[in-house]
Amino acid sequence: MTTRVARAALWVAFAAFFLFPLYAMADFSTRNLLQGGRTLKAWAGLVTDEALYQSIITSLLLAVLTVVVMLILLVPTMIWVRLRAPWAKGLVEFLCLLPLTIPALVVVVGLKNVYLWVTYLLGESALTLTFVYVVIVLPFAYRAIDAALSAIDLETLAEAARSLGASWLVTIGRVIVPNIWSGILSAAFISVAVVLGEYTIASLSGFQTLPVQIVAIGKTDGPTSVAASLATLIFGFVLLLALSLVTRRRRHA
């Protein structure tokens, strides 16, 4: 009995600590400071404020590009390592998890020379951040795809496809990928969430992504920044919740 009361009290305390700031963001961003009452002006700013709107587009594009490049780079590599180059498995895993140990702040400090070349070759665009972001999302993506690959009989699938005359590209694209779809989906969702929230590298390289713009606007227009912040949190939450529901359904099937 006492345990149940204690449990309930703890749930309430945690809920208050975590949900109140989120509620406060909703309240703060809809307050009408001039006449009192409520207004959606700050929320409308997400599309009417030109700079903010542009940064949202930039961040969404970056998210999509990062996911595409990450999948093209990582999925064939991880499959190849399991099938034909097992000697490199440890090395690939080590490199994928390395960004957890090397902070983004350290990477950006050492990135200047690399980026001189990147901007020289590709021009100066926020979208060149894609390459660094691919590296930043590696640990998350690696775990998701690794779990999916471990759950299937990769060798048999590949041998069957190859012995029927499929090329490596067809084997990977049309036989293996459909079988690890849930892992690919989690890798993609988590990467999108990471990219949309990434501030360290973008701000210190001087690119105007959404989080950078949120901070810039916050100096003059608090409510709009708070609205944009809450929007990114809700977006990330919906993404991850949808993911957890989708993966459950797959596990049952």
Among residue numbers 29 through 48, which ones bind other proteins (CB under 8 A)? 29
127 touches other proteins (CB under 8 A) = no
**Mapping DSSP to helix (H, G, I), strand (E, B) and coil, where does residue 96 land?**
helix
**Mapping DSSP to helix (H, G, I), strand (E, B) and coil, where does residue 69 land?**
helix
Nearest to other proteins of 113, 156 (CB atom)? 113
Write down the least CB distance from residue 135 to other proteins, Å. 5
219 touches other proteins (CB under 8 A) = yes
* Residue whose C-alpha is closest to residue 133's, from 92, 99, 177: 99
C-alpha to C-alpha distance for 104 and 99, rounded to whole angstroms: 8
Write down the least CB distance from residue 87 to other proteins, Å. 8
Among 55, 59, 186, 229, binds other proteins (CB under 8 A): 229
SS3 string of 168-211? HHHHHHHHHHHHHHHHHHHHHHHHHHHHHHCCHHHHHHCCCCHH
Residues 198-217 that bind other proteins (CB under 8 A): 198-200, 203-204, 211, 214-215
Helix spans in the chain (H): 2-30, 41-48, 50-83, 89-97, 104-109, 112-122, 130-150, 154-163, 168-170, 181-197, 200-205, 210-218, 222-252
Q: Which stretch binds other proteins (CB under 8 A): 25-33, 52-60, 152-160, 177-185?
A: 25-33
Q: Which stretch binds other proteins (CB under 8 A): 46-54, 56-64, 78-86, 155-163?
A: 78-86
158 touches other proteins (CB under 8 A) = no
Write down the least CB distance from residue 152 to other proteins, Å. 19
Residue 8 corresponds to which amino acid? A
Among 44, 84, 150, 153, binds other proteins (CB under 8 A): 84
17 touches other proteins (CB under 8 A) = yes
